[in-house]
Amino acid sequence: MGILINASTTVLVQGITGSEGSFHAQRMREYGTKIVAGVTPGKGGLDFEGIPIYNTVAEAVKAHKIDASAIFVPAQFAADAILEAAEAGIKLIVCITEHIPVHQMLKVVHVVSQRGSRLIGPNCPGVISPGKSKVGILPNHVFKPGPVGIVSRSGTLTYEIAAQLSHVGIGQSTVVGIGGDPIIGSSFIDILELFQKDRQTKAVVLVGEIGGTDEERAAEFISREMTKPVVAYIAGFSAPPGKRMGHAGAIISGGEGTAHAKAQALEAQGIPVARTPRQVVEFVRNALRL
């Protein structure tokens, strides 16, 4: 089955005529994603590669059944784009845009939750259910269908770990990049809950990084609520305190958020933590008894 998206998921692309939106809309459609509409204010009535364009999300929703939105809107407009999608009743919103101000995201996350929508991101690579559908920028060729769910704060590490699993014949049920910003719409726990309920998913890989305490909270949830095996990888064992590494949320401050602390919290709950992406494959093999 997989989680969040499947072969029948219908998708809207906000910012479809921009350079990023147009490029990735084509890649998504090549993968088989059912893109039914796009939104670019001022370009309503036109089309992109046969996909109708609307001025507003409300107009698109009125004309089409839309399950999910992919947002490729510039940072200064992205918060409003997320709110527009939520207010139009779209249940899954995937925001690829980075550099959205934290104070804007505090409001956005609250409103999206009130509207009953689920936000993935921002500053994330998106979601893919291999062989079924993709919403975001994940590279098509590194994923294959299978029993392993992946939830990750890092885009490039997601691709690397998925590629190594695929290379040895271990496919993925769904891969979710939750984003690396300080304020994001869906946490590790939110996605782990979905994997726990998913019949296709037999094991889960959690990919974390320095900064914050999300991995520590996830460790407690896994020990308390999950019956499926989980293995982890934490990036940043050599990261110096006080220096942001890649993502806005990847910074060690006040002695919290180190890779060592996260690994200790996970391992204390019986969750093996790989020190290299290749070791993730070994741990997954053991978890699946391959």
- Structure tokens, 61: 């929703």
Q: Which of the residues 24, 64, 110, 247 is marked catalytic?
A: 247
Number of other CB atoms surrounding residue 135 within 10 Å: 29
247 is catalytic: yes
Q: How far apart are CA 237 and CA 123, in angstroms?
A: 22
Active site members:
247
